[in-house]
Structure 1
Amino acid sequence: MTTPDIDNINIAAFDPMPTPAAMLASQPLSEKAAAVVRQGRQDLKNILDRKDHRLFVVVGPCSIHDPVAGLDYARRLKALADEVSDTLLLVMRVYFEKPRTTVGWKGYINDPFMDDSFRVDVGMAKAREFLLQVNEIGLPAGTEALDPNSPQYYGDLISWTAIGARTTESQTHREMSSGLSTPVGFKNGTDGNTEIAINAILSASKPHSFLGLNDQGQVAIVRTTGNAYGHIVLRGGGGRPNYDTVSVSVAEQAMVKAKLIPNVVVDCSHANSLKKPELQPLVMSDVVNQIRLGNKSMVGVMIESNIEAGNQSIPADLSQLKYGCSVTDGCVDWATTEKMIRDAATLLRDVLPERQAG
């Protein structure tokens, strides 16, 4: 029996969602997609274990809002990935959930039609369909885990997971990460604090028990075994970058003190580029130079990239949206992306094998 005067007083409705099992059954994992996921995860683990000398690059739109443009980007990226595969492992950035400081468009899953209709059921199905297509193109996919229930719907299509700066300190996200099937990159806090990311890696490496959702859509006690592939993502913060040699060295020392392998990923965007997308190539160039000068901890980079440069506001008339241009953070364009990745591959081709051998 409910007590309407005290129960759910701020809830307007409970709209039903398909269960994870039902959605997976309606859009099953193809053999090709499954093979790409398995290989992507194993390649990333091998890089983190220093068994693969390559640098991994998580690159793609800040967020997906147009699946047609998104797949156009994916096909371009696949050709580039094949070209540099001896030196770089390219993982397509496929972000569907956007954290907001106050309000704003929360992403493709939350509002797929971008009209405040909030058809999460449709958005989840469309997100899964998009990931299937990306993997069938032959690209491993990386995403940010924001909603703890979402991995049940599309986690089988993800090769790499990020935990954002706003949620790295969250116990819920640390617990969730302990059960994810992918390597997980924890970003430092928005104030630049790396200690919370290191604590998150330690926490996620241990077993946890918590309330969650099973594939039948039932609330369940989730019991995890721990995730051994947590690593830090330096994204700057507090109004300054933190990819410089001193900041990287401090992060390395803190990880070693915590008895962690010093695996460092540098986010070329956000505070590291002072939120100016056109500065991302300079960050990437600096990372490449540090590796050439002997750095051994940098194992990956992140780039916010799209077909067109910059970003745009969401217009009332969606037909006025510019094709291939971000509706969230600004991105570098495709031509710049190609140059960043080709230049890095050229400069690192002979260096990375020696770094691993050393």
Structure 2
Amino acid sequence: MNSSVSALPLSTLDSANEALTLRLPSSLQLKQQLPLSHSLHQQVTAHRQAVRAILDGEDPRLLVIVGPCSIHDPQSAIEYASKLARLAEDVSSEMLLVMRAYVEKPRTTIGWKGLAYDPHLDGTDDMAAGLTLSRELMLEMIRLGLPVATELLQPMAANYFDDLLSWVAIGARTTESQIHREMASGLNMPVGFKNGTDGGAAVAVDAMRSAAHPHRHFGVDSQGHPAIVQTAGNADTHIVLRGGHQGPNYDATSVANISAELSRLKIPSRIMVDCSHANSGKDPLRQPAVFNDVLEQRLRGNHSLIGMMLESHLFEGCQPLSSSLRYGVSITDGCLGFDATERLLTDAARRVAQAER
């Protein structure tokens, strides 16, 4: 993974505010340098359809988005993906595992913004190298047989990865954004909108309704030129419950209330639960308890619950960004270790299989 498309030399200096501008390669250039082969394209298409089938109730399996809170180290990311690919095969009859490959991170104020922004972890923000490395990693995960998921935070970055993704998240901070709703309406894969940081589901419900409709909006074409983008609308959306300032919202009462609201608005009741964030009180070791509670609701017959999300890395916990990092440990939110993740998902698959007999 040593190929690179470099940023072009400094192009403008805005004397009014001293803003420096470096020109990035276009998404078309990067896709041509790191292409998705025909066979892998077919694989991605099949994975997208598998996710849609779960959303539509045609496939009874659980959809589980699982992987690091964020990817910062290529070696540990591929080691994790290799382990996950083997686990995905073991539980494939009961659940569809999708690799969480998050290369952008929203920040409340400041901080490391993700691999696509700062791949060297040193504040140099070599985004050209970050985009290249992010695409290389996603391609390698697909070669391992995994569906790939990410959160699309910066719409201009989406074009660099959109052909590789089987599922996309729109985060709690951006679900209310018109720009992200317009972007989602043109994506050719299922999209999960998270509830707002306050815990309210209304903004996510509104986002689903907006994304289902066609839009014309300002955007960038594959060659990097400003463009009018016309979208067809995306019906393959769902809500992701991640809790809020008032606490969790994965309990049966909260799920029933949100399901009823979706039904009232004639929106398909498709609910995923994020087992991290406010639902776990930001304690990664509480994720299994949340997961098992949601699984029990599903086993009792609540099929509006289509899946869960887990933050998981090779080893549990998190660490601050420094010059001496522990291998396989998150530098953003705390994660469940892989061994505990494997036990959790293997046991869940066993319980699902028993319930189906």
Task: State whether TM-score is above 0.5.
Answer: yes
Corresponding residue for residue 349 of structure 1: 353
Could you list the runs of 5+ residues in structure 1 that have no partner in the other structure? none
SS at match of 1:349: helix
SS at match of 1:197: helix
Question: Which of 143, 150, 165 lines up with 2:150 in the alignment?
Answer: 143
Question: Which of 321, 327, 337 lines up with 1:314 in the alignment?
Answer: 321
Distance 2:267 2:225 in 1: 36
Alignment of 1:1-358 (within 5 A): 9-315=16-322, 317=323, 320-351=324-355
Letter in 2 for 1:311: C
Deviations 1:204-241 (A, max 9, x none): 00001111111111110000000001100000001300
Q: Does structure 2 retain, via aligned residues, the 8 Å contact 1:288–1:347?
A: no
Letter in 1 for 2:33: S
Distance 2:315 2:18 in 1: 40
Q: Give the Å deviation of 1:13.
A: 1.1
Distance 1:298 1:179 in 2: 25
Letter in 1 for 2:340: T
Letter in 2 for 1:129: E
Letter in 1 for 2:346: R
SS at match of 1:75: helix
Q: Does structure 2 retain, via aligned residues, the 8 Å contact 1:159–1:182?
A: yes
Q: Does structure 2 retain, via aligned residues, the 8 Å contact 1:269–1:280?
A: yes
Distance 1:245 1:109 in 2: 37
Distance 2:18 2:127 in 1: 16
What's the TM-score once normalised by structure 1's chain length? 0.94
Letter in 2 for 1:256: S
CA RMSD between the two structures: 1.4
Distance 2:18 2:71 in 1: 29
Deviations 1:187-208 (A, max 9, x none): 0000001011000000000001
Q: Does structure 2 retain, via aligned residues, the 8 Å contact 1:32–1:136?
A: no
Q: Which has the higher strand share?
A: 2
Distance 1:152 1:188 in 2: 25
Q: Give the Å deviation of 1:16.
A: 1.0
Distance 1:34 1:71 in 2: 20
SS at match of 2:254: helix
SS at match of 2:203: helix
Deviations 1:74-123 (A, max 9, x none): 00000000000000000000000000000000000110101111111110
Deviations 1:125-182 (A, max 9, x none): 1100101000001000010010001121111000000000000000010000000111
Distance 1:222 1:11 in 2: 31
SS at match of 1:90: strand
What's the TM-score once normalised by structure 2's chain length? 0.95
Q: Does structure 2 retain, via aligned residues, the 8 Å contact 1:58–1:93?
A: yes
Distance 1:11 1:212 in 2: 25
Report how many aligned residue pairs link the two structures.
Answer: 346
Distance 1:330 1:191 in 2: 21
- Which segment drifts farther, 98-107 or 27-36? 27-36
Q: What fraction of aligned residue pairs are identical, expressed as a percent? A: 47
Could you list the runs of 5+ residues in structure 2 that have no partner in the other structure? 1-11
Letter in 2 for 1:100: R
Q: Give the Å deviation of 1:10.
A: 2.6
Distance 2:255 2:224 in 1: 42
SS at match of 2:131: helix
Distance 1:133 1:205 in 2: 31
Q: Does structure 2 retain, via aligned residues, the 8 Å contact 1:311–1:325?
A: yes
Q: Give the Å deviation of 1:343.
A: 1.1
Q: Give the Å deviation of 1:11.
A: 4.3
Letter in 2 for 1:269: S
Letter in 2 for 1:174: R
Distance 1:104 1:49 in 2: 38
Q: Does structure 2 retain, via aligned residues, the 8 Å contact 1:54–1:87?
A: yes
Distance 2:16 2:184 in 1: 32
